[in-house]
Structure 1
């Protein structure tokens, strides 16, 4: 089921048919370098997709497949899914792309599309993004998506920055963009 699209991407629900293609991406140590899950084999990827399917049912959101419009290839995922942060369930933005798609602006494009979808559909009042300070590419994606200001905390034993974007901030950002 398609969620939304951008100029270059189709954003749709993951399915178990995506296990082989997503395993190829999530088994890359460079792609998963900053992931609390670590590198995923086929079984872990299947478990991740099954969890994603349950998120669609419980939250109407979760990790969504990113499909390149030109090639129809699955190139990664972008997520607005539940995450326990300091004993509070938050909706967290996350993204992973196959390495050959890095540095093309696709993560930023996907993040903005997913944020637009969750806020337009009123699926949540705020979204967080959790980033290690030593991950400049992810920090740049978050900034381009409209996140600013952060709290420092420990997440799965790692020092991270927690950024928050509210639906009101999103509306203001997009009102300013259209002027």
Structure 2
């Protein structure tokens, strides 16, 4: 399945599951109704920033938007062959993300990212209806990350952990590509905290 069609199907599925209209998702995400409509029809190549806004509004990880919604989790294979792993390129920065995790639902999601030299991506991440923890492990190269107000420089072998509840900026300040692994875990919030 074409990656834009996969994203289209997944966004539509998640929106329906939440019972959100296009207008509701637009209001919650800050992404225009027309843009969401184009994405859901597979007629748009959304940027990483737009996808993150939709993921936040839908209370899922960005990686979840690349899952294959056609295969029920109950019959999904616990194996994800390299040739079957969805690969997506951000049309603005050119960064390439590969979802490594199998379609079988797991609380852990793994993503490999290749980040071009001199590029930056900013996520306006805010609190969600689930607690999402992320670790970034540098495989090669250098990345600078700003998590909320705190700035970090990651070099090969370094690993940074964070909660996805504040703005995050990824930047490759060098002339060489960087490659890193992202591991995500989602923990549902207690019902009282969600409603409070």
TM-score interval for Structure 1 and Structure 2 normalised by the shorter chain: 0.3 to 0.5
Return the TM-score normalized by structure 2: 0.32
Return the TM-score normalized by structure 1: 0.34
Larger Rg: 2
